[in-house]
């Protein structure tokens, strides 16, 4: 039986429907808003596995080209591996939902949201989050939801809920907020130097819509919800738990406060091995071993949190607002166009900037239409960065972290018109212990400035954390906000949020909250503390490089841009492209001509681009009376010489115009092929050019 609920947004209805499509899945919901639609399904495996210490859930968002009435490009006319955009939306769905599944369910869960209609006006990703949550909510899979998401823009001085693509493009702010009816749990987005107060206002607006969408899903659950499957909790307890905890706790208290990451890891492992040896017989059982490891994690959790909340003591000895030592280096590699090393404590990014031409732009062809990006950022996280062996590849983590760093830097990257280069930044993470994505933002700024990219302002980023403890009825009776968090503080804390920006405002933001509904007061303090940290980092970076290098690398391509009259484009291109091809071949350049008359010349060096620019000017410029040209003597006659002042445009310099004194022969003054300065005296009625020779002294005076 088909069941449907709806919610009015502006002039359109957001519809959630179940019972018509994908009825064999554990749960399936069709969501539609205007011309965009998503079908989300969820399935669970038949059997449960006891003792899992993680939730085996996967989210695979995908977009079909037919949704926008398109056929995939390339030789293979079907959708292939996931695009970066699909992976980013999958992460957007996964992050707020994963914590709400019960570990003791023990079954593999797969959520597949598919965009099957796109009006190319309303982004389908928000629909995908709502549909995915609704599918699980009405299914027989236990779930502590529902969750919902909303995009908030800030356009022309007003907040806009779920803006269109056009409004997103125009806006100063674009964030996606996800959460439950009790409060938001995830935020990510970008902005153009907005204030902390404007960001807080956007979060408040978001919560109203999220709550409404959660209630809408509950309505659908009442109409079509299935009875939930049973959980499979462990029925076994850890033997000798109290004794193990009593012996290990004092040893861990010391081991957890070693100065460095590896020293702490080694000390904790020694304690664990020492205790495990004593209870070796008991730990031969696999379940007992899992419970033993879980107890050690729990003890570290208690030690770290108690140290921060009771003594203001962090595991590496810092105060709550202290930022680890930072060093910055630039131009560390001999051939790349710009390079930098940004090191903060045990996190290090080697960032490299490469300048390319318009032909190097990243082209995206998806259901939203073709887009071209002249700023690209790629993030690599090799296994050696954490001292491990592993496979090298680009996973969801790399794509997500790279996207955050790119969004944070993009508002400060010059436009194509200001700087006609394609800019690619690659952040190679050399070491990691706390926010390598924010290190990529800092390293990205440094390497672009070193490459001579005229950034509007430098950008830096910082990762913040939160530790809370309830007091009575107040869930946040005790709390501590941490600046520049370590990996352990991220793993064991209640919130991880990253803020990037300039000295004047926020450009990038990402937050994951592990507890319900963080208060506005906490958020306000956290953002203020993050700003102080960001300004501190920017101050250190500015001591290394504060403004773009005066020149770009000698190894970078040389680019010249010029404007020509639209009616001259045909003359430049020539019949069948003959003219432009000839110039390109002669000067070893690539020439790109836009419909508005913008001509871009790409060459390996300044000599080639300058020569090509001069040749183009000769074709498209009309000679002007009174202008001095550096012409070439083409032919010498008894009565004068024909001089080419522009490519294909010759004029006559009469013998009487070569000197104020009478000369016998033109060859007494010039020779064929010689370059000479001449002034255009007139263009006669027949269009002939009459020239006058300018001697060296007069030419200098005219300059």
Confidence at residue 475, expressed as pLDDT on a 0 to 100 scale: 66
Tell the burial category of 120 from Cβ atoms under 10 Å away from its Cβ (0-12, 13-18, 19+): middle
Per residue in 550-586, pLDDT (tens digit) is: 999 988 888 888 888 898 898 899 888 888 998 899 8
DSSP assignment of 51-79 equals T-SS--EEE--EE-GGGGT----SSS-S-
Tell me which CATH code domain 558-617 carries: 3.30.1370.10
Confidence at residue 194, expressed as pLDDT on a 0 to 100 scale: 92
Per residue in 63-103, pLDDT (tens digit) is: 999 999 988 877 888 888 889 999 999 999 999 999 899 99
Per residue in 650-672, pLDDT (tens digit) is: 999 999 998 888 888 999 889 99
Tell me which CATH code domain 241-311 carries: 1.10.10
Tally DSSP H helices, then E strands, for the chain.
15, 30
The answer on pLDDT for 6 being more than 60 is yes
Question: Given pLDDT bands bounded at 50, 70 and 90, which one contains residue 698?
Answer: low
User: For residues 432 and 133, what is the distance between their CA atoms, to the nearest angstrom?
Assistant: 33
Classify domain 628-702 at the CATH topology level: OB fold (Dihydrolipoamide Acetyltransferase, E2P) (2.40.50)
Query: Same fold for the domain at 3-224 and the one at 326-544?
Result: yes
CATH class name, domain 3-224: alpha beta
Q: Which of 38-42, 307-311, 494-498, 561-565 has the highest mean pLDDT?
A: 38-42
Strands (E), 472-622: 474-483, 495-501, 506-513, 558-563, 589-593, 598-603
Which has the minimum average pLDDT: 21-30, 122-131, 220-229, 355-364? 355-364
Confidence at residue 44, expressed as pLDDT on a 0 to 100 scale: 96
User: For residues 375 and 409, what is the distance between their CA atoms, to the nearest angstrom?
Assistant: 9
Report the SS3 class of residue 44. strand
**Backbone CA torsion sign across 70, 75, 78, 84:** negative
Mean pLDDT for all residues in the chain:
91
DSSP assignment of 322-389 equals ----EEEEE--SSSSSEEEEEEETTEEEEEEEEEE-GGG-EEEEETTEEEEESEEEEEE--GGGGT--
User: For residues 212 and 219, what is the distance between their CA atoms, to the nearest angstrom?
Assistant: 11
The answer on pLDDT for 477 being more than 80 is no
Q: Are the C-beta atoms of residues 111 and 57 closer than 8 Å to each other? A: yes
Question: Is the whole-model pTM more than 0.95?
Answer: no
Per residue in 145-179, pLDDT (tens digit) is: 899 999 999 999 999 999 999 999 999 999 999 99
Q: Which has more confidence, 441 or 521?
A: 441
The answer on pLDDT for 330 being more than 50 is yes
Per residue in 389-424, pLDDT (tens digit) is: 988 888 889 999 999 999 999 999 999 889 989 999
The mean pLDDT of 264-277, rounded to a whole number, is 92
Side-by-side strand order, sheet with 598-603: 558-563, 598-603, 589-593
Which has the minimum average pLDDT: 345-349, 360-364, 518-522? 518-522
Distances (CA, A) of 379 to 396, 424, 425: 11, 11, 9
Classify domain 326-544 at the CATH topology level: Ribosomal Protein S5; domain 2 (3.30.230)
The mean pLDDT of 358-382, rounded to a whole number, is 87
- Domain segments of the chain: what residues? 3-224, 241-311, 326-544, 558-617, 628-702
């Amino acid at each position: 039986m088909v069941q449907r609920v709806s919610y009015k947004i502006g002039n359109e209805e957001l519809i959630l429907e179940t019972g018509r499509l994908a009825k064999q899945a554990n749960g399936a919901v069709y969501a539609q808003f205007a011309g965009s639609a998503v079908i989300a399904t969820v399935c669970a495996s038949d059997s449960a596995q006891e003792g899992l210490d993680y939730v085996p859930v996967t989210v695979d968002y995908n977009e079909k080209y037919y949704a926008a009435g398109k056929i995939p490009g390339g030789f293979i006319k079907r959708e292939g591996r996931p695009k970066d955009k699909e992976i980013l939306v999958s992460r957007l769905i996964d992050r707020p939902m994963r914590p709400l599944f019960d570990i003791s369910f023990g079954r593999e869960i797969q959520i597949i949201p598919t965009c099957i209609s796109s009006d190319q006006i309303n982004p389908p990703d928000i629909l995908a989050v709502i549909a995915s949550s609704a599918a699980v909510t009405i299914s027989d899979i236990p779930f502590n939801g529902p969750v919902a998401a909303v995009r908030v823009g800030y356009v022309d001085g007003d907040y806009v809920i779920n803006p269109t693509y056009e409004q997103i493009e125009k806006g100063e702010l674009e964030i996606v907020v996800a959460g439950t009816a009790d409060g938001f749990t995830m935020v990510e987005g970008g902005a153009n130097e907005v204030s902390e107060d404007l960001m807080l206002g956007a979060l408040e607006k978001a919560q109203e819509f999220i709550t409404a969408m959660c209630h809408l899903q509950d309505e659908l659950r009442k109409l079509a919800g299935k009875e939930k499957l049973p959980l499979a909790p462990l029925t076994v307890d850890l033997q000798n738990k109290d004794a193990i905890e009593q012996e290990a706790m004092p040893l861990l208290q010391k081991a957890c406060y070693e100065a460095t990451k590896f020293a702490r890891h080694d000390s904790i492992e020694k304690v664990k091995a020492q205790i495990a040896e004593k209870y070796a017989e008991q730990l031969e059982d696999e379940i007992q071993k899992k419970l033993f490891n879980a107890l050690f994690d729990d003890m570290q959790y208690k030690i770290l949190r108690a140290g921060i909340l009771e003594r203001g003591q962090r595991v590496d000895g810092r105060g709550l607002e202290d930022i680890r030592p930072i060093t910055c280096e630039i131009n560390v590699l001999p051939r790349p166009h710009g390079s930098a090393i940004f090191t903060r404590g045990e996190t290090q990014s080697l960032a490299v900037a490469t300048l390319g031409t318009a032909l190097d732009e990243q082209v995206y062809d998806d259901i939203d239409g073709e887009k071209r990006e002249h700023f690209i950022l790629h993030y690599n996280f090799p296994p050696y960065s954490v001292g491990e062996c592993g496979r090298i590849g680009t996973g969801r983590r790399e794509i997500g972290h790279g996207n955050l760093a790119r969004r944070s830097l993009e508002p400060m990257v010059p436009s194509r018109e200001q700087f006609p280069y394609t800019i690619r930044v690659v952040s190679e993470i050399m070491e990691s212990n706390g926010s390598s994505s924010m290190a990529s933002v800092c390293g990205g700024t440094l390497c672009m400035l070193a490459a001579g990219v005229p950034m509007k302002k430098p950008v830096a980023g910082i990762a913040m954390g939160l530790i809370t403890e309830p007091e009575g009825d107040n869930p946040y009776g005790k709390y501590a906000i941490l600046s520049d968090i370590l990996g352990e503080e991220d793993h064991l804390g209640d919130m991880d949020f990253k803020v990037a920006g300039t000295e004047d405002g926020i450009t990038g933001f990402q937050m994951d909250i592990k507890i319900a509904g963080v208060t506005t007061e906490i958020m306000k303090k956290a953002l203020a503390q993050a700003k102080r940290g960001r300004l501190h980092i920017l101050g250190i970076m500015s001591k290394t490089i504060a403004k773009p290098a005066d020149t770009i690398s000698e190894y970078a391509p040389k680019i010249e841009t010029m404007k020509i009259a639209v009616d001259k484009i045909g003359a430049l291109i020539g019949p069948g492209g003959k003219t432009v091809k000839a110039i390109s071949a002669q000067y070893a350049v690539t020439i790109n001509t836009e419909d508005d008359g913008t001509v871009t010349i790409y060459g390996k060096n300044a000599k080639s681009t300058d020569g090509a620019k001069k040749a183009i000017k000769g074709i498209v410029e009309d000679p002007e009376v009174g202008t001095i040209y550096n012409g070439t003597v083409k032919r010498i006659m008894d009565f004068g010489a024909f001089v080419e002042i522009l490519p294909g445009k010759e004029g006559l310099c009469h013998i009487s115009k070569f000197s104020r004194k009478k000369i016998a022969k033109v060859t007494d003054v010039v020779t064929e092929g010689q370059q000479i300065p001449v002034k255009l005296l007139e263009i006669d009625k027949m269009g002939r050019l009459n020239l006058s020779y300018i001697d060296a002294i007069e030419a200098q005076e005219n300059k």
